[in-house]
């Protein structure tokens, strides 16, 4: 089993409060050993570009830097992309 360096990075663009983000994290809970979750608070000054882009759309998810989904977790899409990345890293 690898040290986790090759795990895909799931970036969650969020802000406080964000009930949909909390819900999304719950949905993703069973998968959490398969990816690294990185949260980006779009309300922070250094993230203003993301704020302008996503202020009406959070939660927004990027997988390894690529847009994946927004508003709600699409588990099927998430699973498919995760599997693809896992196969690439093997």
What is the pLDDT, as a whole number, of residue 90? Answer: 75
What pLDDT score was predicted for residue 4?
54
- Six-digit token pair at 21? 């983000």
CATH number of 9-88: 3.40.30.10
Q: Please identify every stretch of the chain with a pLDDT value under 50, giving residue numbers as ranges.
A: 1-2
- pLDDT score recorded for residue 49: 98
- SS3 of residue 39 by DSSP: strand
Q: Could you tell me the pTM of the whole model?
A: 0.90
Of 30, 24, 1, 26, nearest in space to 12 by CA: 24
Token digits for 3? 């040290």
Q: How far apart are CA 26 and CA 89, in angstroms?
A: 26
pLDDT of residue 5: 64
DSSP assigned state of 8: P
Give the Cα separation of 15 and 50 in Å (integer): 11
- The pLDDT, as a whole number, for residue 89 is 80
């Amino acid at each position: 089993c690898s040290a986790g360096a090759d795990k895909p990075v799931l970036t969650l663009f969020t802000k406080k409060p964000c009930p949909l983000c909390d819900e999304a994290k719950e949905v993703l809970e069973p998968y959490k050993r398969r990816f690294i979750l990185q949260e980006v608070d779009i309300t922070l000054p250094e993230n203003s570009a993301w704020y302008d882009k996503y202020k009406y759309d959070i939660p927004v998810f990027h997988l390894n830097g690529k847009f994946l989904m927004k508003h709600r977790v699409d588990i099927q899409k998430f699973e498919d992309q995760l599997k693809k990345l896992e196969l690439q890293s093997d």
